[in-house]
A and B are shown apart, each in its own frame.
Chain A
Amino acid sequence: MEAHMKPTPIKAKFLTPGVIVLILLAVNGLMFLAGRFFFGIGSVTHLSDQYPWGLWIAVDVAAGVALAAGGFTTAALGHVMHLEEYHAVIRPALLTAMLGYTFVAIGVCVDIGRWYFVWHPLVMWNGSSALFEVGICVMIYMTVLYIEFLPLVTERFIGKVNLPGILKNLNRPVERLLRALDRGLSKTMFVFIIAGVVLSTLHQSSLGTLMVIAGAKMHPLWFTPILPLLFLLSAIAVGLPMVIFESTLAARSFKLKPETEILGKLGGMVAPILGVYLAFKLGDMVIRETFVYLTEFSTASVMWTIEVLVGIVIPLRMFLSPSVLKSPALTFTAAALVVFGVALNRINNFIVAYTPPYAVHAYFPSIGEISVTVGLIALLTLMYRAYVMIFPVISLPQDRPALHAKYAIRTEKS
């Protein structure tokens, strides 16, 4: 059956009622964003000297990086281990990762006070800083993701370059350029794919190291020296659920048949990884005896319980059940719970667990912060929609046997 699947640009109307809602949300966010750039971070956020980091770092950056992990997990399964069955989802995952990291970069520029100095870490190094490592890896990885995406561009346009008007003369050279690019890419792509996986493991874990230095201010329910390991494990665990989550949503929105079989297979992989993550999280809790903090009723204990119960235990149980894996709706629900759990974990680590010694008021994100975050997510979704309509990302069943495809889709069997 898979031989007849081929990534194809989706033909659909761009504007739908849902899309219009997204556009409105995006415009609303952009308005607050303008406020931030003209009047300073303080004018739209509740950030303060007590709470220097808030929603933007927790969601736009930390959760964003985690949820873009589908890119490197599917690349590892499909390209490094050459597991054929994952190839249909590599491209959607790659696109999510590429757009995801792009928005992480935008989120960073929004949050840092001097966005025009965002390139400073490239030339001003501080090897002992976890944030430095995250910054460098994210910058390189984003470049790698764009390179990994290039084959989709060449595939889309080779033989179809047709520039209008006076640019017509450029048709031949552009065509030749694309073909040269394509040849070069197919020879070297594996370097980028492996580099992408290495870079991902590095910065996914270093994101966890970030709050280790703030240990004295962190709530013991989350603070542990193994935070980097927990961050890495949870990123790996959320990779496939994120692919299931977005593929199902995309299929629904474009009225395509969901790939029940592939998604069920992916779902089967989730439980073991999620189980390892849970084991480390609970094991660490037992060793450090932090469960005592669960007996007191506080924001921290409630948030921790929701995170672990709803975000890990319930979906783990679901993914272990064969009947769930057979039902697209239930698989989707379980995947959505994992996505929710990991996003909540990042929020908990960066906001809930952070207890500054001299806090006079608690932090809750402002309307402006929420609007910007929602707006950026809306923009990302819109771009995803546009990309799958332009580039061959989503695999569709073909009437005729598939032409052999490029490196970034499946291993070349010529």
Chain B
Amino acid sequence: MKQPSRRAFLKTAALAGGTVAGLSATAKAGPKNVLSPDRNGVLVDTTVCIGCRSCEYACRTAHGLPTPPLETYGDKTVFKEMRRPNTGALTVVNQYPNPTKSDLPYYVKVQCMHCDHPACVSACIVGAFSKQENGAIIWDTDKCIGCRYCMAACPFQIPSFEYEKALNPEIRKCDFCYTRTQENKLPACVDACPVEALTFGPREEVVRIAKQRMATYGNRYVNHVYGELEAGGTGWMYLAGRDFADLKFPKLGASPAPGVSEAIQHGIFAYFVPPVALYAILGAIMWMTKTREEGA
């Protein structure tokens, strides 16, 4: 068999390296992930919520999900066990005891937090998740491959998957009523709440209101706005009358969930320099050891 000549070796190697380098020029792809100053947020005041679950009903109706009749939502037995949002209910309310006033338990509404630095957007293999100008994190069914990496990544354990479906199973989670807010309507849950436990508005404004409430009614709240800093800040934020850990909020630092992983990714792929360099080094080793062998 004829040896590939050394010149041919160099030529082909350079060609291959060049192709990879050329690819890097086009590798700007990525999902929309904007942190607009106008993004919205919601303040959930768990000391105001009465656990009527009107928001659950409104959410199901707004998203075309099957729901039992509104009258049945008064049933308090559902609070016996902790519930999580799932494919049939994008938001749920849970009950926790109030150590000082046992007849006035705390209620905590749970849904997607619409993170400022969302793990789901960073993680999704095809960029099916995106963060919009108005703060909503939405999911694109035309892209999703159903790998469920978003679920593994989300620090709040929010995205839910239709395990029982064989064809086109969906990832479901709160979409911040993206279609409604586009039409200048309030999110369905905020609209439905009879006691104004939910306050919708620009995120900065929402943070201000939260701090104001804490200052005015100091003994009503623990001194913490959950979500102001957690996981790099979230769109939905909470006030509470007892420690957030007792209300089963995950304890998270202020660094964004995708931070470390993105740093690693971008380090490896910094304009494809590390892979191309490795390619060149290996090529050189191959060429040199070959020379050695031929000389022998």
Chain B residue with the shortest CB-CB distance to A83? B289
Q: Which residues of A contact B290 (CB under 8 A)?
A: 82, 411
The reply to whether A52 and B143 form a contact with Cβ atoms under 8 Å apart is no
Q: Of B27-35, B54-62, B182-190, B235-243, which binds chain A?
A: B27-35
Interface centre among A37, A50, A195, A198 (most CB of B within 10 A): A198
Whether A124 pairs with B264 at a CB distance below 8 angstroms is no
Nearest B residue (CB) for A41: B163
Cβ 8 A contact of A128, one of B128, B166, B266: B266
> Is A358 within 8 A of B248, CB to CB?
yes
Q: Is A133 engaged at the interface, CB distance under 8 Å to the other chain?
A: yes
B156 to chain A, nearest CB (A): 8
In the complex, how many angstroms separate the beta carbon of B249 from the nearest chain A beta carbon? 9
Say whether A129 contacts B8, CB under 8 Å.
no
Q: Once the chains bind, are B279 and A49 in contact (CB under 8 Å)?
A: no
Q: How far is the CB of A347 from chain B (nearest CB, A)?
A: 15
Contact with A along B243-286 (1 / 0, CB 8 A): 00000101010000110111011101100000100110011011
Contact with B265, one of A42, A127, A190 (Cβ below 8 angstroms): A127
Complex Cα spacing A114 to B290, Å: 47
A214 engages B152 (CB within 8 Å): yes
* B contact residues around A213 at 8 Å (CB): 119, 122-123, 152-153, 257-258, 260-261
Asked if B104 lies at the interface with its beta carbon under 8 angstroms from chain A, I say no
With A215-B260, A358-B82 as contacts: A81 and B269 at CB distance below 8 Å: no
The stretch from A23-31, A202-210, A245-253, A277-285 touching chain B is: A202-210
Inter-chain CA distance A219–B231, complex, in Å, is: 18
A385 interface contact, C-beta 8 A:
no
**In the bound complex, do residue A186 and residue B153 qualify as a contact, i.e. CB atoms below 8 Å apart?**
no
Residues of A within 8 A of B152 (CB): 52-53, 210-211, 213-214, 217, 354
In contact, B163 and A198 (Cβ under 8 angstroms): no
Q: Does B3 contact A (CB under 8 A)?
A: yes
A133: B residues at CB distance < 8 A: 265, 268-269
Cα distance A119–B161 in the bound complex, in angstroms: 20
A112 touches B286 (CB 8 A): no
| B:1-41 near A, CB below 8 Å | 1-4, 8-9, 12-13, 16, 27-31
In the assembled complex, A414 has its CB within 8 A of some CB on chain B = yes
- CB-based nearest A residue for B143: A124
Q: Is B149 an interface residue (CB 8 A)?
A: yes
Q: Digit string of B183-222 for contact with A (CB within 8 Å is 1, else 0)?
A: 0000000000000000000000000000000000000000
Residues of chain A with a CB closer than 8 A to B168's CB: 114
Q: State in angstroms the CA–CA spacing of A214 and B122 once bound together.
A: 11
Shortest A103–chain B CB gap in Å is 17
Inter-chain CA distance A42–B169, complex, in Å, is: 11
Asked if A113 and B169 sit within 8 Å, CB to CB, the answer is: yes
Once the chains bind, are A52 and B16 in contact (CB under 8 Å)?
Answer: no
Smallest Cβ-Cβ distance to B275: which chain A residue: A198
A216 contacts partner chain B, Cβ-Cβ < 8 Å: yes
> With a CB–CB cut-off of 8 A, which chain B residues contact A360?
82
Q: Which residues of B contact A193 (CB under 8 A)?
A: 286
The answer, yes or no, to whether A80 is at the interface (CB within 8 Å) is yes
Q: Is the CB of B164 within 8 A of A42?
A: yes
- Whether A357 and B157, one on each chain, are in contact in the complex, defined by CB atoms closer than 8 angstroms, is yes
Q: Taking the complex as formed, is B124 at the interface, i.e. its CB lies under 8 A from any CB of chain A?
A: yes
14 additional A-B pairs beyond A82-B290, A205-B268, beta carbons within 8 Å, are: A43-B164, A48-B163, A52-B149, A81-B286, A113-B161, A121-B145, A125-B30, A125-B126, A129-B265, A191-B16, A206-B265, A213-B123, A215-B257, A358-B82
24 A-B contact pairs sorted by A residue (CB < 8 Å): A39-B164, A49-B84, A52-B152, A81-B289, A117-B145, A120-B126, A125-B27, A126-B30, A126-B125, A126-B126, A128-B258, A129-B123, A129-B265, A131-B125, A135-B125, A194-B16, A195-B279, A198-B282, A213-B152, A213-B258, A225-B264, A356-B157, A357-B157, A358-B248
